[in-house]
Amino acid sequence: MESSAASTLFLALFLTSLALFFRALSAGFRRRKHLNLPPGPKPWPVIGNLNLIGSLPHRSIHQLSLKYGPLMQLKFGSFPVIVASSVEMAKEILKTQDLKFASRPKTAAGKYTTYNYSNITWSPYGAYWRQARKMCLMELFSARRLDSFEYIRAEETRALLRGLFDASGETILLKDHLSTVSLNVISRMVLGKKYTEESESETPIGYVRRMKTLSKKFDRFLEHVLDEHNERRNGVKNYVAQDMVDVLLQLADDPNLDVKLSRTGVKAFTQDLIAGGTESSAVTVEWALSELLKQPQIIERATEELDSVIGNDCWVEEKDVQNLPYVEAIMKETMRMHPVAPMLVPRMSREDCTINGYDIPAGTRALVNVWTIGRDPEIWDCPNEFRPERFLGKNIDVMGHDFELLPFGAGRRMCPGYSLGLKVIQLTLANLLHGFKWRLPDLVTEKDLDMDEIFGLSTPRKVPLEAVVEPRLPKHVYDI
Ligand code: HEM
């Protein structure tokens, strides 16, 4: 008897919840029907529009935007996604309505690789993320902090130049040399040392490559780093932070922080800084050299500038970079054609809003296709040609002010490491051009050089660049 009453109750509950579910669903449909959504291809059940996205999503999405316009709607599985593909639409998302789009979508992968979104990149909009950005601005990437690490960047650049000098006349894989500098610079600035004395599998390079599958092992590495730092700090009165992990641990000790920074938070931020800072500059410099090897006259013009500003008896230092407008133009042109994040990092709308008369419901993912904007023939003459001259005498910067060139994004979620990234790219590029003559290996012609990319955490060359270098300066300059 009791069990039949229970099953009747259960049935009633089940039917009521089913009815409520269908009511909510049909209300949702009715609401959606009245929404004026941006145009886009018709989605399939379950997969949405994923069938239209190839191995280079920014290119597939670019093609779709030519058909559906500068603001279109796609479905990735069941998730609605809007894509901005013009300066005006980028401005809407990253500037005019920046605050409404200041969150990030949650993904299963993100959950397990970012300590449940406690890093900076994937943490949702809120007090925790706002505090993280304040830490970046005031502590981690302040001009004073970055200046205090200039000696590290100079030492690691010298090691790169020395390594290339030793490999003169041989065919080198440029990316190997560039990745080593980036990783060494970021390891020393963030972790305080290179950690090369430990076994290869215990070093960040091994982990960064396989971070997704090895997040547990990476965690063990970070635990070890934090223990070492705490041992060094323990009991030392007025301890002065020597690297970014020290800064984070001091912040974690601060009882006055609005939101407590836990040990997990310190690990998540540290992982973010290593991941964000390692690949991006190496990939950009590799693209720059690839474009230059196709057009030796650009190298000639750059070396003329370097000879007249730097002379042939010393290396380029960070303070010289502002006097090298042509080298800067090469860097901007590289970032226009080969942005590391061609669609930035996805944002997510926090509330309902409208863009250009279209309704964008809360929870919509937003991509800004800076790759498309960088090749828009309405903005750029001959957009598919690499022409650094286009930037000379123009006031277009890469710092999120000029929406036609957004390699670091713009607005509240803009890359906090941009000034460090720019310093490393410019110093490396200028010295590579200053110190060496560059050519393609025998039997490879400028036309043969493949310029395909692959999509991933960054957007590197599909085939790593091989080149041959010869010293360009007097021999004694290489005794560094
Ligand atoms: C060439 C160098 C770099 C490029 C091109 C680059 C690009 C980007 C882009 C496009 C974003 C997303 C911006 C947006 O959503 O609007 C981003 C975010 C971020 N970058 Fe970079 N980045 C570079 C270097 C660095 C460095 C050196 C670091 C740190 C050491 C770093 C740390 C971060 C972090 C933590 C975020 C997430 C910010 C947030 O969500 O609030 N990046 N970066």
Rounded Cα distance between 458 and 149, Å, is 25
C-alpha 398 to ligand 1 mean position (Å)? 13
Beta strand segments in 239-397, E: 347-348, 353-355, 358-360, 365-368
351-397 confidence digits (pLDDT tens) = 999 999 999 999 999 999 999 999 999 999 999 999 999 999 999 99
Closest atom, ligand 1, to C-alpha of 274:
30
Task: State CA 401 to chain mean position distance.
Answer: 18
Question: Closest Cα to atom 43, ligand 1: which residue?
Answer: 415
**CA torsion through residues 271, 328, 412, 53, sign:** negative
Rounded Cα distance between 230 and 347, Å, is 35
Q: Are strands 71-76 and 79-84 parallel, antiparallel or unpaired?
A: antiparallel
Rounded Cα distance between 147 and 419, Å, is 11
Q: Of the candidates 432, 362, 456, which has an alpha carbon nearest to the alpha carbon of residue 178?
A: 432
- 166's CB contacts (< 8 A; 6+ apart) are none
User: Per-residue confidence of the chain (480 residues) as pLDDT tens digits?
Assistant: 444 444 444 444 444 444 444 454 444 445 556 899 999 999 999 999 999 999 999 999 999 999 999 999 999 999 999 999 999 999 999 999 999 999 999 987 777 788 999 999 999 999 999 999 999 999 999 999 999 999 999 999 999 999 999 999 999 999 999 999 999 999 999 999 987 644 444 455 555 555 556 678 889 999 999 999 999 999 898 999 999 999 999 999 999 999 999 999 999 999 999 998 889 999 999 999 999 999 999 999 999 999 999 999 999 999 999 999 999 999 999 999 999 999 999 999 999 999 999 999 999 999 999 999 999 999 999 999 999 999 999 999 999 999 999 999 999 999 999 999 999 999 999 999 999 999 999 989 999 899 999 998 899 999 999 999 999 999 999 998
16-26 confidence digits (pLDDT tens) = 444 444 454 44
Candidate of 247, 373, 415, 420 to mutate for ligand 1, largest count of ligand atoms within 8 Å of Cβ: 415
C-alpha 314 to ligand 1 mean position (Å)? 32
Rounded Cα distance between 30 and 52, Å, is 27
Residue list, ligand 1 pocket, CB within 6 Å? 120-121, 133, 272-273, 276-277, 280-281, 284, 340-341, 344-345, 407-409, 413-417, 420-421, 425
Where is 171: in which H helix or E strand? Answer: strand 171-173
C-alpha 269 to ligand 1 mean position (Å)? 13
